[in-house]
A = this chain, B = another copy of it.
Amino acid sequence: MCELLGMSANVPTDICFSFAGLMQRGGKTGPHRDGWGISFYEGRGLREFKDPFPSCTSEIAKLIRNYPIKSHVVISHIRQANAGRVCLENTHPFTRELWGRYWSYAHNGQLKGIKKKALNYYFPVGTTDSEYAFCWIMDQIRTAFPKKPRSNKALSRLLHTLSEELRSLGVFNMLLTDSSHLYCYCSTKLSWLTRQAPFDRATLKDDEFTIDFEKETTPNDIVTIIATEPLTDNESWARLNTGQMVVFKDGVLLHQLNG
């Protein structure tokens, strides 16, 4: 079992607070000692930080906790390895380019027999079933839409169908983004919330850390956070159902597709 964290916002927002909670689960309050990674988007540009070491003691994770990198879209993952050894190439998120956009993806779960599916354009660098599934998804998108479709709805529907197919192979909780949209699919566990005015205080479950978002934000900010488990204990998180996909853009829920 791994843990996922995603963010979609309408203004460049730092994720220090949520990441501070998540990184404690990487070997301290949680058992996910086998590496961690995070993708930050700034416009179409992507920064990726990865470590095959526990996030709770990582020098690079400390930098991210303390150095506010502001971003519209973030995907993060901490790993407890099941398929594929612990090494850098097996560390999420994984990234590929399609239509001149960097797509970034993180997965929690196991997929039996995924490697029987044929691949055409994208090939895994590491040995995880997660990265293999990502390459298959990217192949399917590329085949269905050689060019970026005008409407996002058809793409969301395709991604939901592909996710349902993957869920039939095991457990498939997923975060995927093309730098503007954040696609989140729930097989067993994903919760989300949107923070917007009037902002309030929030307290982390996993670390002694309280933040007053009123002081950190402007009245027009919309910030959605999605995670395997709720990260705060005084806010109300919505749990996704099995087979549900939610799609966010600029912090706003665009589509919801049910299983």
Chain A contacts to B: CB under 8 angstroms: 42-50, 52, 59-60, 63, 67, 87-91, 95-97, 99-102, 121-126
Closest A-B pairs by Cβ, 6 of them: A45-B88, A45-B89, A100-B123, A42-B88, A44-B89, A59-B67
A59-B63 CB under 8 A given contacts A42-B88, A44-B126? yes
Distance between Cα atoms of A123 and B45 in the complex (Å)? 14
Measured between C-beta atoms, what is the minimum distance from A246 to chain B in Å? 25
CA distance A89 to B180 in the complex (A): 14
Question: Cβ of A43: which chain B residues have Cβ within 8 Å of it?
Answer: 87-89
Whole-angstrom distance from the CB of A113 to the nearest CB of chain B?
A: 20
Q: Give the oligomeric copy count.
A: 2
CA–CA, A33 and B60, complex, Å: 23
- The SS class assigned to the A binding surface is mixed
Chain B neighbourhood of A67, CB < 8 A = 59-60
Closest to A37 in B: B47
Chain B neighbourhood of A91, CB < 8 A: 45
Task: Decide if B125 touches A88 in the complex (CB within 8 Å).
Answer: no
Separation in Å of the A183 CB from the closest CB of chain B?
A: 19
Contact A47 B50 (CB under 8 A): yes
Q: Is the CB of A47 within 8 A of B88?
A: yes
A101 and B125 within 8 A (CB):
yes
Question: Quick check: A87 and B121 within 8 Å, CB to CB?
Answer: no
B126 touches A97 (CB 8 A): no
Instruction: Write the chain B residue with the least CB distance to A119.
Output: B100
Residue of B nearest to A50 (CB): B47
- Residues of B with C-beta under 8 A to A101: 125
Shortest C-beta distance, A96 to chain B (Å), equals 6
CA distance A42 to B126 in the complex (A): 12
CA distance A59 to B64 in the complex (A): 10
Measured in the bound complex, the distance between the Cα atoms of B122 and A99 in whole Å is 8
Q: How far is the CA of A82 from the CA of B44 in the complex (A)?
A: 20
